[in-house]
Amino acid sequence: MMILSGDPPRGRALVALLAVIVLILAIAPFLFPGAKSLNVAATILVYALLVASYDLLLGYTGIVSFAHVMFYGVGAYGVAIALYGLGPSWGALILGIVAALPVSVALALAIALFSLRVQTIFFAMVTLAVASAFNVLASQLDWLTGGEDGRSFQVPEILRPGFRLISGRAFGVELNGRVLSYYLVFIACAVLFLALLRVVNSPFGRVLQAIRENPFRAEALGYRIVYHRALATCLSAAVATLAGALGAIWQHYVGPDTALNLSIQLDVLVMVVIGGMGSLYGAIVGAALFVVARNYLQGLLGALSAAASGAGLTLAAGLLHPDRWLMWLGLMFILAVYFAPTGIVGRLRGLDKGSG
């Protein structure tokens, strides 16, 4: 209970689902030794942390921002530039992260100050413009960021695939640098997620929820709305920056399409809605379902299309064609929002209450 900051998932179905997801992610290198499966697991971890940091803004504070992916990109580029320029050392890695954090916090503070002048949709448009400008800037600074081609870099030796921790195998799996890199991402994401859980269950987090529900009443009670919103934006940006750094460490590459693209922001928004806004546990569920669907739905549709074609169902085979996977992913999202408007977490908690 203490490690969960006094906020357990609540609901037997939700606890079971989270336990399965976390257990699979914890033993993923031994359960799914393939390169693609391990990459999917690492992506789920990074996205779960990124989604949780965004939910601190959207779900707990009620701030709609389209600049969150920019902070993710700052962290990724900070690590990439440091390791590319200074060489693959731990010192360069730490320097890249340490340098990226104040940049993100400063940008977040500047964006938060816009909320003094504009609100709601106008604030969202301002953040979208800032994120787009940052994307263009990263694409143009070839000497620093690598431009459209991005930056490929080496990580410290212990995190490289060629590194061997032991000469033999453990449970049939080589303990190489790729596995060590995965567990670095896993442990870091777990620690940061628990830290966010502590934040939202602190008095500060309660104030954020009060501001979300009724900012005028919160201000009448003596809470400084601008201060709390700005601090929430800065905290969210810092965690997103660390998520970007972890993503870069895992991928060994950073580019505008992988770290600053608006589609990443839209994916994060979809994962927040699917998992459930205002519940950090929803970040884990939403990220897991979305990333798995994005990576395996096309293959599943291909198998179903082939089976339908073999059975002579031409129309069904056409509808299930792998090229239409985005259509089916969108349909799944619409159904999820329609049948679970409070997200999967809210739905599962509601089922548990109904059965009780």
The span from the CA of 54 to the CA of 68, in Å, is 7
- Treating both helix axes as pointing N-terminal to C-terminal, what angle do 262-275 and 281-310 enclose, rounded to 10 degrees? 100
R_g (Cα) of the chain, nearest Å: 21
Place of tokens 């962290």: 75
Band (pLDDT 50/70/90 cuts) for residue 253 is very high
Within a domain: residue 253? yes
Does 254 have pLDDT greater than 90? yes
Position with higher pLDDT, 339 vs 99: 99
pLDDT the model gives residue 76: 94
Tell me if 4 is assigned to some domain. Answer: no
The pLDDT of residue 4 is above 70: no
Question: How buried is 351 (Cβ within 10 angstroms: 0-12 exposed, 13-18 middle, 19+ buried)?
Answer: middle
Q: Which long-range contacts (CB under 8 A, 24 or more apart) does 34-37 make?
A: 36/295
180: in domain: yes
What pLDDT is recorded for position 105?
94
Is 42 within a domain?
yes
Report if residue 1 sits inside a domain.
no
User: CA 170: distance to chain centroid?
Assistant: 30
Q: Residue 162 domain-assigned?
A: yes
Q: Which residues contact 233 (CB under 8 A, 6 or more apart)?
A: 57, 63, 65, 108, 109, 111, 112
Give me the residues paired with residue 176 across strands: 164
pLDDT over threshold 60, residue 276? yes
Query: What CATH number is associated with residue 221?
Result: 1.10.3470
* Neighbouring residues of 34: CB distance < 8 A, sequence distance ≥ 6: none
Query: By the 8 A CB rule, do 261 and 135 touch?
Result: yes
- Give the span between the Cα atoms of 233 and 105, in whole angstroms: 8
In which element (H, E) is residue 67 found?
none
Is position 284 within any domain? yes
Find the domain containing 106 and state its range. 14-355
- Residue 42 — pLDDT band, cuts 50, 70, 90? very high
Q: Is the pLDDT of residue 1 over 60?
A: no
Whether residue 303 has pLDDT greater than 60: yes
Domains in the chain, number? 1
pLDDT digits (tens, 9 = 90+) for 157-179: 898 887 777 776 776 677 888 88
Residue 23 has pLDDT above 90, yes or no: yes
Whether residue 48 is contained in a domain is answered as yes
- pLDDT-derived band at 48, boundaries 50, 70, 90: very high
* Measured distance CA(73)–CA(261) in Å, rounded: 9
Separation CA 62–CA 228 (nearest Å): 12
Give the predicted TM-score (pTM) of the model: 0.92
Q: What is the pLDDT of residues 197-238, one digit of tens each?
A: 999 888 888 888 888 888 888 888 888 888 888 899 999 999
- Measure Cα distances from 28 to 39, 110, 295 in Å: 10, 40, 16
